[in-house]
Amino acid sequence: MSVIRSILTGVGSYLPDRILTNAEMAELVDTSDEWIQARTGIKQRHIAAQGELTSDLALAAAREALTDAGLEGRDLDLIIVATATPDQTFPATATKVQAALGMTTGAAFDLQAVCSGFIFALATANSFIRTQQAKRVLLIGAETFSRILDWEDRSTCVLFGDGAGAMVFEAGEGEGSNEDKGILATHLRSDGRQHDLLYVDGGPSSTQTTGHLRMNGPGVFRHAITNITEAVNSSLDETGLNAADIDWFVPHQANQRILDGTAKKLGISTDRIISTVGLHGNTSAASVPLAYAVARADGRIKDGDLVLMEAMGGGFTWGSALVRV
């Protein structure tokens, strides 16, 4: 049976030049390199320069992904930017990227699911492609979380960093089997009752300010492994695949302990985990495509591999995707 598949044809990434080390963090708040590394695995994070906006990061990653796919902006039907730190309340950061790429047709919009944003965008792109509403889609996860952190709150400011990652998906044909190239399954979830565990204490409608990120870390941690495992198992069940079939596990990079705990619960061996949390920190919606780009560039992820992506974030939102690349 011939089916339409969303096939990954290009990847790109961008990290701001400025690296902020744990030793430098210890000069800002009462923390230490030992604590941050032991509790999270983070060694450093990148911070956007003054005047460097989310759209600038997004554009740099997008240009690399388009080059990788052999496409130009005008070839695209749709751009989705997953971000919780847009340049402005409106218009969408995606429309700024659209104009900068010289794309004058099609549509561009932002998608807001915080750290799960890229997985939500990937599932959305897959729906557009499979229902033949779009043939070529550019997905970007781009964040400047450094701008919404409370730099006096040691329990959150040490965790996050800035960056962007991008992927191009194009419509292609498959046989409807798990050997097809492309997105094989996605699974999205949310639970609005968990709002108070991870949120920003501002917004246009509530305070008319941007606000700062607030997180009950242990509260989020308690849900993370269970929720992620549930989403992954739903995607595996849908395809009939199991953990042993997964070549690479590309998780949202929040905390090395969550990565390891999830892999263990799913039965994925540690040498299959792509981990960039040590070098990037938590870059929210950018973390999955950034981690993917690193492992693709260093030759670990190869054509034909089965890749499992997942994320969890504020809302709560969480989800998974199985992609044969």
140 is an interface residue for ligand UT7 by CB under 6 A: no
Only one of the segments 49-57, 65-73, 151-159, 233-241 lies at the binding site for ligand UT7 (rule: CB under 6 A); that segment is: 151-159
Which of 98, 186, 282, 283 contacts ligand UT7 by CB under 6 A?
A: 282
Binding mask 61-80 for ligand UT7 (x = CB under 6 A): --------------------
Only one of the segments 35-43, 62-70, 136-144, 260-268 lies at the binding site for ligand UT7 (rule: CB under 6 A); that segment is: 35-43
How far is 160 from 85, CA to CA, in rounded Å? Answer: 13
Nearer CB in complex with ligand UT7: 128/199: 199
How far is 15 from 23, CA to CA, in rounded Å? Answer: 20
How far is 165 from 203, CA to CA, in rounded Å? Answer: 25
Distance, CA of 53 to chain centre? 18
How far is 247 from 48, CA to CA, in rounded Å? Answer: 33
141 is an interface residue for ligand UT7 by CB under 6 A: no
The count of C-alpha atoms lying within 13 angstroms of the C-alpha of 290, restricted to the half-sphere facing its C-beta, is 33
224 is an interface residue for ligand UT7 by CB under 6 A: yes
155 is an interface residue for ligand UT7 by CB under 6 A: yes
How far is 102 from 97, CA to CA, in rounded Å? Answer: 9
The count of C-alpha atoms lying within 13 angstroms of the C-alpha of 88, restricted to the half-sphere facing its C-beta, is 6
Which neighbouring-strand residues pair with 168?
10, 138
What single-letter amino acid sits at 206?
Answer: S
Catalytic residue among 212, 252, 255, 280: 252
Collapsing DSSP to helix, strand or coil, 323 comes out as strand
Q: Is 252 a known active-site residue?
A: yes
Q: Closest CB to ligand UT7 belongs to which residue?
A: 217
Q: Closest distance between ligand UT7 and the C-beta of residue 219, in Å?
A: 8
* Residues near ligand UT7 (CB under 6 A): 31, 35-36, 39-40, 115, 154-155, 158, 217-218, 220-221, 224, 254-255, 258, 282, 312-313
- Supply the residues annotated as catalytic: 115, 252, 282
